[in-house]
């Protein structure tokens, strides 16, 4: 019986799929669906030859929209979102599953370890879950620290989208217009937005340090300078979109001064160092109407007044 739908997304990532797919298929009790995001490479052939189900998208979608399509097309009680450049340990899913069904838990974050390529660990943590601090700045817990750190299980704010296990019930509960992931975000910070919404609805995220996967991180504090200006603007604007959607009055009353102080510093950085990010403010304003519409629905159904900003597992 299938317990978990593993949704492995590829957008012309056949070289990584060649390594990540066999590891996903080896997870007990799982059915693997490879999301062929209008690929022009060998993704579909590799998936079919390996015996995976293939969801072929006729036109290329952003990361959020492609994953939403796969979530809608599957039915197992557990859903593992998996990027093609993330390589699961053989017992990764087995170690995550028990945490997912603890009371109140709706998602599980494994310990992701940095990799230069398949089978090329760097001996450092990629992330031990997501954190959103009181400035509303999101980050990767433990990024760049030695791999042995963050060895105690606990709770974190959310699970990184590279490898995140969810109850399907949680994804349904968090959906807006039947979509768990906000497609306006395209990709960056969409996992944080989903985690924030889940926290508002009373769902917790468990961190399981014994569940490991290697990950080739594209955008991180250590690789940010290598990312295109367009993608940095996307990440910059998405922080404002998730604040518009999810922020509460009590949260602003408590943390407004911290948020305002950070905004002044951020604007100074933009003006002095990265003027291309000025367009991020414009992009956020352009998408504000749909974010405000989503806000009305989020705030109408929230069950928690003040999520645990700054929550992270012990080092």
Which two structure tokens, joined as six digits, stand for 96? Answer: 């995550």
Q: Is 119 exposed, middle or buried (0-12, 13-18, 19+ CB in 10 A)?
A: exposed
Cα 114 from Cα 160, distance rounded (Å): 13
Looking at the DSSP bridge assignments, the partners of residue 165 are 80, 108
In this predicted model, what pLDDT tens digit does every residue of 239-278 receive, in sequence order?
A: 999 999 999 999 999 999 999 999 999 999 999 999 999 9
In this predicted model, what pLDDT tens digit does every residue of 11-43 receive, in sequence order?
A: 999 999 999 999 999 999 999 999 999 999 999
In this predicted model, what pLDDT tens digit does every residue of 276-294 receive, in sequence order?
A: 999 999 999 999 999 999 9
Q: How confident is the model at residue 221 (pLDDT cuts 50, 70, 90)?
A: confident
Which two structure tokens, joined as six digits, stand for 56? Answer: 């072929």
Looking at the DSSP bridge assignments, the partners of residue 214 are 87, 113
Cα 231 from Cα 52, distance rounded (Å): 31
Q: How many CB atoms lie within 10 A of CB 59?
A: 7
What is the predicted pLDDT for the residue at 310? 87
Is-contact 192 158, C-beta < 8 A? yes
Q: Name the packing angle between helices 278-286 and 229-246 (round to 10°).
A: 50
Is-contact 255 249, C-beta < 8 A? no
CB-based contacts of 131: which residues, under 8 Å, 6+ apart? Answer: 138, 139, 140, 141, 156, 157, 310, 311, 312
In this predicted model, what pLDDT tens digit does every residue of 90-146 receive, in sequence order?
A: 999 999 999 999 999 999 999 999 999 999 999 999 999 999 999 999 999 999 999
Sketch out the chain's domains with CATH numbers. 4-215 (3.90.550.10), 224-301 (no CATH)
Q: How far apart are the first and last CA of the chain?
A: 37
Which residue intervals of the chain are DSSP H helices? 14-25, 43-50, 63-72, 92-100, 168-174, 190-200, 229-246, 249-272, 278-286, 288-301
For residues 187-210, give the mean pLDDT: 97
Is-contact 20 115, C-beta < 8 A? no
Q: How confident is the model at residue 2 (pLDDT cuts 50, 70, 90)?
A: low
Looking at the DSSP bridge assignments, the partners of residue 114 are 215
Is-contact 166 115, C-beta < 8 A? no
């Amino acid at each position: 019986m299938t317990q978990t739908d593993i949704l492995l997304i590829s957008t012309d990532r056949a070289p990584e799929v060649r390594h990540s797919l066999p590891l996903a298929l080896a997870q007990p009790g799982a059915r693997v669906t490879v999301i062929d995001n209008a690929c022009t490479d060998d993704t579909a052939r590799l998936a079919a030859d390996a015996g995976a189900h293939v969801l072929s998208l006729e036109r290329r979608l952003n990361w959020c929209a492609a994953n939403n399509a796969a979530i809608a097309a599957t039915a197992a009680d557990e859903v593992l979102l998996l990027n093609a450049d993330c390589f699961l340990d053989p017992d990764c899913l087995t170690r995550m599953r028990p945490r997912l069904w603890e009371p109140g838990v709706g998602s599980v974050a494994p310990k992701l370890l940095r990799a230069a390529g398949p089978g090329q660990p760097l001996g450092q943590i990629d992330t031990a879950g997501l954190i959103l601090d009181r400035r509303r700045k999101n980050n990767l817990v433990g990024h760049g620290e030695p791999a042995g750190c963050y060895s105690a299980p606990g709770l974190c704010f959310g699970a990184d989208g590279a490898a995140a296990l969810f109850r399907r019930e949680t994804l349904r509960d968090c959906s807006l217009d039947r979509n768990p992931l906000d497609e306006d975000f395209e990709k960056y910070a969409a996992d944080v937005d989903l985690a924030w919404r889940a926290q508002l609805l009373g769902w917790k995220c468990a961190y399981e340090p014994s569940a490991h996967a290697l990950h080739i991180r594209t955008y991180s504090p250590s690789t940010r300078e290598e990312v295109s200006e367009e993608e940095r603007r996307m990440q910059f604007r998405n922080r404002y979109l998730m604040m518009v959607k999810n922020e509460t009055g009590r949260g602003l009353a408590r943390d407004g001064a911290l948020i305002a102080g950070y905004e002044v510093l951020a604007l100074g950085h933009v003006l002095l160092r990265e003027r291309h990010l000025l367009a991020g403010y414009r992009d956020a304003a352009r998408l504000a109407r749909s974010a405000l519409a989503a806000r009305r629905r989020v705030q109408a159904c929230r069950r928690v007044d003040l999520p645990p900003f700054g929550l992270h597992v012990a080092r």
